[in-house]
C-alpha cells in the first residue's frame, strides 16, 4: 500500500479500494491492526531487494520500476513472490547497464523502461519512515510508521479498518 505512485497513476480511491478489497477479502472482509501490520511486513520484504534489513532509495526505485516493466502491462495482478522475482530481475538487468556481457550500453532499444516517479513536491510514503535521515528505512522504522498510519486511518478506534475509513484518507482534489 505504501509503495506510492506518481503522475498518470490510478486515482487514490481506486488504488486504496483495490488494496482494501484484496487484503480484507483474504481476511474475512476486515482489516485488523494485526492484518495491516502483517501486510506492511510483507511489503517491506518485497521492497528490501538485497535482504539486508533496509530499504534504500535505489532499491525502492528498482522495486517500483519492476512493477511497471512492459511484460507486466497485461493487467495481471502479481503475487508477492512474482513481484519479488520481477524486482530482482529488473535490478540484475539494470546493474549491467554499461560494459560487460549483457549490459545495456548505448543501444536505446535496450534501455530500461521509464517508470512513473513520485513528483518532487510529494512526500514519498516509504522514505518518509526514515526519521533518522540516514537515507534508508529499517523494518523497525517502516513498522512504526505503519502503526501510525493505522491509528490515523482507524477513525472510529474500533481496531479495524473499513473501506470507507481507508477511502477518506485520500486527499481531496
pLDDT per residue as tens digits for the range 29-66:
999 999 999 999 999 999 999 999 999 999 998 888 87
Determine, yes or no, domain membership for 2. Answer: no
**Is residue 163's pLDDT more than 60?**
yes
Report CA Rg, the chain. 17
**Residue 6 placed within a domain:** no
Give the per-residue pLDDT at 15: 86
Q: Which of 45-49, 60-64, 81-85, 104-108 has the highest mean pLDDT?
A: 45-49
User: What are the CA-CA distances from residue 92 to residues 16, 52, 62, 72, 76 (Å)?
Assistant: 30, 17, 10, 17, 22
Residue 73 is assigned to a structural domain of this protein? yes
Distance in angstroms (rounded) separating the CA atoms of residues 133 and 99: 34
Residue 2 pLDDT level (bands cut at 50, 70, 90)? very low
Q: Given this model, what pLDDT does residue 57 score?
A: 93
Read off the pLDDT band of 102 (50, 70, 90). Answer: very low
Q: How confident is the model at residue 74 (pLDDT cuts 50, 70, 90)?
A: low
Go through 66-104 and write b for each residue having 16 or more CB atoms within 10 A of its CB, e for each that does not: bbbbeebeeeeeeeeeebbebbbebbebbeeeeeeeeee
Domains: count for the chain: 1
Average pLDDT over residues 149-172: 93
The grid coordinates listed for 166 are 481507508
- Residue 66 is predicted with a pLDDT of 78
| Structural domain contains residue 77 | yes
Q: Which pLDDT belongs to residue 128? A: 94
Domain membership flag for residue 37: yes
Whether residue 109 has pLDDT greater than 90: no
Confidence of residue 141 (pLDDT cuts 50, 70, 90): very high
- Could you list the residue range(s) of the whole structural domain that residue 136 is in? 12-167
Amino acid at each position: 500500500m505504501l509503495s506510492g505512485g506518481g503522475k498518470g497513476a490510478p486515482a487514490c480511491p481506486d488504488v486504496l479500494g483495490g488494496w482494501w478489497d484484496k487484503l480484507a477479502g483474504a481476511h474475512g472482509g476486515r482489516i485488523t491492526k494485526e492484518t495491516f501490520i502483517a501486510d506492511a511486513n510483507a511489503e517491506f520484504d518485497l521492497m528490501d531487494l538485497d535482504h539486508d534489513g533496509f530499504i534504500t532509495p535505489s532499491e525502492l526505485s528498482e522495486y517500483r520500476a519492476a512493477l511497471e516493466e512492459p511484460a507486466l502491462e497485461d493487467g495481471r495482478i502479481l503475487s508477492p513472490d512474482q513481484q519479488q522475482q520481477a524486482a530482482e530481475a529488473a535490478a540484475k538487468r539494470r546493474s549491467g547497464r554499461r560494459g560487460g556481457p549483457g549490459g545495456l550500453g548505448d543501444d536505446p532499444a535496450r534501455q530500461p523502461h521509464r517508470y512513473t516517479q513520485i513528483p518532487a513536491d510529494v512526500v514519498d510514503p516509504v522514505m518518509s519512515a526514515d526519521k533518522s535521515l540516514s537515507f534508508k528505512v529499517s523494518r523497525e522504522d517502516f513498522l512504526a510508521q505503519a502503526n501510525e498510519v493505522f491509528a490515523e486511518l482507524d477513525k472510529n478506534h474500533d481496531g479495524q479498518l473499513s473501506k470507507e475509513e481507508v477511502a477518506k484518507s485520500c486527499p481531496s482534489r
